[in-house]
Structures are given as C-alpha cells and as structure tokens.
A and B are shown apart, each in its own frame.
Chain A
Amino acid sequence: MSTTPPMLDVRHLVKQFPKRGGMFGKREVFTAVDDVSFQVNRGTTLALVGESGSGKSTVGMMLLGLLETTSGDVLYEGRPVIGLRGPERLALRRKLQVVFQDPFASLNARMTVAELVMEGMRVHKMYANDAERRARAQELLGQVGMPAHALDRYPHEFSGGQRQRIAIARALSVEPEFLVLDEPTSALDVSVQSQVLNLLRRLQRERGLTYLFVTHNLAVVDYLADEVCVMEKGKIIERGMVEDVFDHPQHVTTQRLLAAVPKVEM
C-alpha cells in the first residue's frame, strides 16, 4: 500500500442551482452535481464521461475554481482548495490548468500567439523579463509541434488543430501539474484528432502530468484514460479501470452508452 495521498481528492462534492418559478416564491433547487467523490493519482488520467447534462463539466469547473461549490471538499495534494484566497489561490491556479473544447472561443482573438502563451507567465511572474518569456513560449510551441513563426501571428490564422495546440502550449506555459481536458478533441477534424491525442499522451509521459479528462466520446477514453467514472444526473453511477468498465459494464446506463457508440467493424 502506498501512503502518498492522491493528487486530487474530491469528497462529496455537491452543486445546486436555484430553479426559477417555485410556487409562492418557494425556493426550489436543481442539483447538478450530487455527492460526487473520486480520486486521481499522480501521473494518471481519470475520465469523467456522461451525456450532456450529466454534470461532468460542472465538476471540472468547480475543480478549477470557475464555479462555486455548494458543499463538499476538494483536496489537492492533501490540502483543501475551496475558499482559498490571494496568493495561495494564485499558486494553486498555476498548478491546475484547463484546455477547453472549442479552440475558436477560448483564445482571445486580439492577442498574438506569443502574447497568449506569455500571459500566464507574466501573471505568475515567471522568468526575469519578456525576452526570456518569449524564448520559453517559442520552446513550448516547438514542443507541441507548432512552427516558430507562429509567435507573431493571431489565432484566426490557424486551423482548429493548430489552435488546440496553442491552447495546450498556453496551459503548459505555467508548468502545471494537473490538466483538466474538457472535450479537447471534439471540435477537431478526424485526421487532426489523433495528432492532438498523441501529443497529450506524450506530454503526460514526459512531464508526469495528471489529467482529468471530461468527455462524452467513449472511443477516445479507451485510448487516453486509465480510470473512468460514468456520470448520470449528477451522480457517479459506475467507476473502475477503463478496460474493466468497457469490457464488463455493470450499470445499465453504461451499457446503453457503450452500445450507442457507432463502431467500425474491420
């Protein structure tokens, strides 16, 4: 038995939203995330899968501090992260980064690629000056397979797959330990999806990154994740190692999800 705590320990996480139009002004709530607990170990990938509305993205948003929790705890390396303020919060935000689904919406169109990749380094006061940051940005772009001349261009000059690489370089710029990947390949063309998946896997191996992979695409889960949690109506209904869950799904919803995935018989 290992005694090291999990990298991320999510305990009894709950998120409720107020519902409109209760009778006589009665406050009704919609429970989007209902008592969710899971752990992610360092250097591994946990996939959260489910249909739209299952609460998987809401969980990701709460971990990143982009959405307040109603109750529950999130421990990062054994220390609580909810309610952190000031420098402690900033320090955590450096370690936890996110790559969103739509690289057309998540990159500011008015910033050059260099500015986009350097922004986080400036916020976190990394490196002595902009010249060093720029050199680092160029290095990062090289690592994600982007040409050096990309630095002084704008996001609209790039294709979807290239933009997703820029978004990944931006997330990596602050030397994170943990990445939330929210449908990172869903908006990409088929021939480019596999490039980005390979990149994510290589970066994990090289840097020991830990991933929380939020997706509805089960075909990709099999390739990228070690463990999987299946969500429905805010609850985790099944969890386990990917090969166990995929080969022997226990819950009827998991069986239904797996059966619905179109397959190429070859």
Chain B
Amino acid sequence: MPAVLEIDKLRIGWTDSAGEHVIVDGVSMSIQAGEILGIVGESGSGKTLSMLAVLGLLPAPLTVLGGSIHISGAPVTPATAPGMRGKRAAMVFQDPMTSLNPVFTVGAQIAEAVTLHQGLKGRAAMDAAVDALRKVQVPDPERRAKQYPHELSGGMRQRVMIEMALACKSEVLLADEPTTALDVTVQAQILQLLRQLQQETGMAIAFITHDLAVVAELCDRVVVMYGGKVFESTDVNTLFAQPGHPYTQALLESLPDRAIPGQPLVSIPGQPPTSGQRGSGCPFKSRCRVAINACDAPLPLVQLGTIDKPQLVACHRVSEVA
C-alpha cells in the first residue's frame, strides 16, 4: 500500500541570475493512513514551506526546484495541485482568525466547502454544516453556525477550521501549529479531538509544531527539521529515549522539564541560521558540541534502529553520539 503522503528529496527555493538559492534541501518523509507524523523545527527550519509545497501554495518567488510529492500515489505538480487542494489534502493554520473570512458566518463558510466538495446545496448544505459543527463538539451548533468568526473563541475557531478540512473528506490533514495560539487547557481539547477524529476517519495527519511535549502526547512518528534539512526521522518513543542527532539531544536537554534544581538550563549556544548563511555542510555545525571539520561535507544519512522501527539520522558524528 503506498503512503498517503510521500515526499521525496524535496528542494524548495528560488532562481535568479546568480543561480539557485535553496531553502528546503532534500527533505523526505512519508505518512501512512491512520498515522500522525510530528514535524518539529524552529522558525525558518523549512517545516511550513514543505507543507505549503504539498498544497501547491508556495509564495512567489519560491518554487519546487527538485524532488517529488505524491498523495496516495498521485503526483502533486503545479498543474494537479489546485484540484487536489481541499479534496485530498487540507491544511489548518496556526491563527484561525486569519484563515476564516470575517464577513461571512461560520455556517456559510463550512456550507461553501460542503457545496464545493460534496455537491450539497442551500438548506442541505447548511444542515450539513450544523452537523459538522456538532461533530467537532461545538456547543449549540445551530446558534454558532449563524455567528461570525469574531464571535467565537480561539479554540472554537480552530474547531471550525478542522471541521472544514474534514468536511472535504481529505486523505491527509496538514496541521501547522494549530494549538500554539491557544491556552493549554484548550490545546488539550483540540489534541484530543484530532486524535479521536483521526481514529474515526483513518486520515493521515502531519502535525507541525515546535513543542516537543505536544509531539510526545500526540504523534506516532517524528521528523526533526533544522536549517531546511531533515536531521532525524524516527518513531516517537525512540526519539525521546535515544535521540540520534546531536541537535535533537540538545533540544531535549534544554527543556525546562529537565532542569536540575539550582542549575542553569542546558542551552544551545548561538542562533539558528538564516537561509543565506547556509553552506553545503551541516547547518547546525556552528552550534554543535561535537562538530569537526568534516561536518562541512554534505550530510550523510545513517540508518539506526531496526527494520520495523528505523531511525534515520543525518549527521557525520552519529557514531560518536548515538
């Protein structure tokens, strides 16, 4: 069975007279049906751009320079992406207020998606919208459907966004930091809802986040990105028990949960690189505690773990640290 989402050696960037400027460099990942993949990275790591490429929504002048994206075996290209967007892959963004249209009622916006993707019209579409709101546990759905986005709380708006993605019966849901703007208790509800809907529908979910604790609670497998590259790709238990990449290890050690009383937090020196500062070697080299000169060479991909639980690590020094 092919993966629902298969990204292979994806390269994103722009071209000008000086040549290619690569921002996302050789990213590969796949998600099976019924699986939640966590994509972890800091701002500028390329996690959001990779997902936008899946939908064919890269902002100009950025384009896909190389590699391939398939959804259930069908290639995503500039020609096919508009027809797949919404139907086969849907996205939920961080800030639901900017993704909903402020001048239409919530019900009308869900009904629009229902009309487009399920062919229902008028009253039937509106009834479907109310049902949909009930399904994502919005209280008093009849009244809420007649309200405008600003009348809903942040958590409720995010439920509406998730519902619009579900109404289209997409095969893969791309969730880009959907709980970052929410309170912890509301975040817990949304994570619970995603898990439940995913079990009911069997859809594949890519969950983008910078919060490792959310990954630990929600995801089956994890891809760690940094500086436009995939550093580590493994199942969630291995990631926390035996992180293979020095960056992942440092990230886990710097969590406040891990603080030793009376001691400063372990911290990673320096700043993440901007896309202009990247060379061909490891983008983490200047901050890495085990870096050597050889780290300037293109990154190898080392396979650790077992056949059924593979752990891929992109690091020259993996034998020293893993």
Contact = CB atoms under 8 A, between A and B. Distances in A.
Contacts of A201: 264
Given A260-B187, A266-B240, A194 B267 contact: yes
B241 interface: yes
B256 A190 contact: no
Contact of A266 (B186, B217, B241, B269): B241
Interface string A236-266: 0000000000000000000011011111111
A199 B257 CA distance: 18
A191 B272 contact: yes
B183 A52 contact: yes
Contacts, number: 102
A201 B261 CA distance: 13
Contacts of A194: 254-256, 265-268
Interface string A215-235: 010111011000000000000
A138 B250 CA distance: 30
Interface string B246-264: 0000111011111100001
B250 A219 contact: no
A195 interface: yes
Which range contains the number of B residues in contact with the other chain? 35 or more
Nearest to B42: A189
A223 B184 CA distance: 18
Among B184, B187, B240, B259, max chain A CB count under 10 A is at B184
B252 to A, nearest CB: 7
A195 B265 CA distance: 8
A60 interface: no
A159 B268 CA distance: 15
B71 to A, nearest CB: 29
A233 to B, nearest CB: 13
A159 B210 CA distance: 16
A191 B43 CA distance: 11
Given A194-B267, A262-B217, A263-B216, A189 B43 contact: yes
B188 interface: yes
B255 A264 contact: yes
Contacts of A222: 256, 259
Given A191-B272, A192-B271, A219-B257, A198 B188 contact: no
A159 B264 contact: no
Given A197-B256, A223-B256, A189 B210 contact: yes
Contacts of B257: 219, 263-264
B321 interface: no
A262 B212 CA distance: 9
A261 B213 contact: yes
Contact of B210 (A190, A261, A264): A190
B211 A223 contact: no
A159 B213 CA distance: 24
A257 B212 CA distance: 18
Contacts of A195: 267-269
Contacts of A51: 183-186
Contacts of B256: 193-194, 197, 219-220, 222-223
Contact of B267 (A198, A257, A260): A198
B264 A198 contact: yes
A184 interface: no
Nearest to A52: B183
Among B43, B191, B256, max chain A CB count under 10 A is at B256
Contacts of B213: 219, 261-264
B268 A262 contact: no
Contacts of B184: 51, 216, 218, 257, 260-262
Nearest to A261: B184
A191 B42 contact: yes
B271 A161 contact: yes
Interface in A170-223: 189-195, 197-198, 201-202, 216, 218-220, 222-223
A69 interface: no
A103 interface: no
Contacts of A52: 154, 183
B214 to A, nearest CB: 5
21 contacts: A51-B186, A52-B154, A159-B272, A160-B43, A189-B42, A190-B210, A190-B212, A190-B251, A193-B254, A193-B256, A197-B256, A198-B267, A219-B256, A223-B259, A260-B187, A261-B184, A262-B187, A262-B214, A263-B257, A264-B212, A265-B240
Instruction: Give the top 10 A-B pairs by smallest Cβ distance, nearest first.
Output: A262-B213, A189-B42, A194-B267, A194-B265, A260-B188, A51-B183, A194-B254, A260-B184, A191-B268, A260-B185
